[in-house]
Amino acid sequence: MNKLIIANWKMNPASEKEAEKLLIETSKKIKTLKDIDLIICPPFPYLFLFKKNKTTKIVLGAQNVHKELEGSYTGEVSVKMLSSLGVKNVILGHGERRKLGETDEFINQKVLTSIKNKVNPIFCIGESSRDRDGNFLSFLEDQIKKGLNGVTKSQIKNVVIAYEPLWAIGKNAQREATREEFVEVKIFIKKVISDLYDSKSAHGIKIIYGGSINSNNAKSFLDAGADGLLVGRDSINFKKFEALLDAIK
């Protein structure tokens, strides 16, 4: 099965010109690779660049969406707007947005709106710290149950779950997760999905890893059973992203 690589550009790069350059370079590179499905999630202002450059091998994603379809919501973007620009996936529940105050219930409403409007969620979960007794697993279970509340058995196959421990993401990351830590959580997520839905759903759901992924560690997570990777910093520097793609091809 193809590996899913998701580039979360976060609030980068700083200008349209740089964004277009990064897009064109990445687009050329991905055309040379097989067995990789690439989703890029740029900041909203750069979404139109993907239409302009007709990037056939890249699936377009977004970094956020509002729960309502239209109305008086200053500064927000609706799933219909995203769809009309060709967006197929949206990152929801990201740790950096939870830090801004998004609750499980709020994220759940966005998950439901997105699925209903055929934009598939990349649903992120992750604990802020680990404890030896494994209490963080109950925390993750809670995030899954609340975030996916109301998602039906026929809809769950359209959700990708990204395990992104907060201590492993972004500039202030302590370290990346180990393969063993990822595998443990992957098995745990499958168990939760199996209990919530059924074993077929648990078997089919894609579980990916994100947090300090680079060209040195990317392959080892895929070898350990990650269905894909959610990449932040190393997706906005083309040389680094190229090295990462080469490392896993």
Binding mask 205-224 for ligand 13P (x = CB under 6 A): -----xxxx-----------
Phi, psi (rounded to 5 degrees) for 75 = 85, 0
Among the listed residues 3, 4, 5, 8, the single contact to ligand 13P using CB under 6 A: 8
Contacting ligand 13P within 70-99 (CB under 6 A): 94
Report the distance separating Cα 218 and Cα 44, nearest Å: 27
Neighbours of 12 (CB within 10 A): 17
Distances (CA, A) of 1 to 99, 222, 244: 34, 11, 19
Q: Which of 66, 96, 127, 164 is catalytic?
A: 164
β-strand 58-62 against 87-92: which pairing, if any? parallel
Among the listed residues 159, 230, 244, 248, the single contact to ligand 13P using CB under 6 A: 230
Q: Smallest gap, in angstroms, from Cβ of residue 129 to ligand 13P?
A: 16
Positive or negative, the CA dihedral 187, 188, 189, 190 is positive
Q: Smallest gap, in angstroms, from Cβ of residue 210 to ligand 13P?
A: 4
Q: Does the annotation count 66 as an active-site position?
A: no
User: Which residue in this structure is represented by tokens 């992104």?
Assistant: 164
Q: Encoding tokens for residue 13?
A: 């790069």
- CB of 60 closer than 8 Å to CB of 85: yes
- CB of 58 closer than 8 Å to CB of 6: no
Please identify, using beta-carbon distances, which residue of 66 and 233 lies nearer to ligand 13P.
233
Task: Give per-residue burial for 161-179: e unless 16+ CB within 10 Å, then b.
Answer: bbbbbbbbbeeeeeebbeb
Q: Smallest gap, in angstroms, from Cβ of residue 59 to ligand 13P?
A: 16
Contacting ligand 13P within 153-172 (CB under 6 A): 164, 169-170
Q: Return the ∠ at Cα 159 (arms to 65 and 140), rounded to 5°.
A: 90
Please identify, using beta-carbon distances, which residue of 63 and 155 lies nearer to ligand 13P.
63
Report the distance separating Cα 42 and Cα 19, nearest Å: 8
Stretch that binds ligand 13P, among 42-50, 71-79, 128-136, 228-236 (CB under 6 A): 228-236
User: Which residue in this structure is represented by tokens 């109301």?
Assistant: 150
Stretch that binds ligand 13P, among 15-23, 143-151, 186-194, 225-233 (CB under 6 A): 225-233
Examine residue 231 and tell whether it contacts ligand 13P (CB under 6 A). Answer: yes
Q: Does the annotation count 94 as an active-site position?
A: yes
Among the listed residues 24, 36, 81, 173, the single contact to ligand 13P using CB under 6 A: 173
User: Which residue in this structure is represented by tokens 């990708």?
Assistant: 160
Please identify, using beta-carbon distances, which residue of 39 and 205 lies nearer to ligand 13P.
39
Examine residue 233 and tell whether it contacts ligand 13P (CB under 6 A). Answer: yes
Q: Smallest gap, in angstroms, from Cβ of residue 72 to ligand 13P?
A: 30
* Residues tagged active-site: 94, 164
Residues near ligand 13P, by CB under 6 A: 8, 94, 164, 169-170, 173, 210-213, 230-233
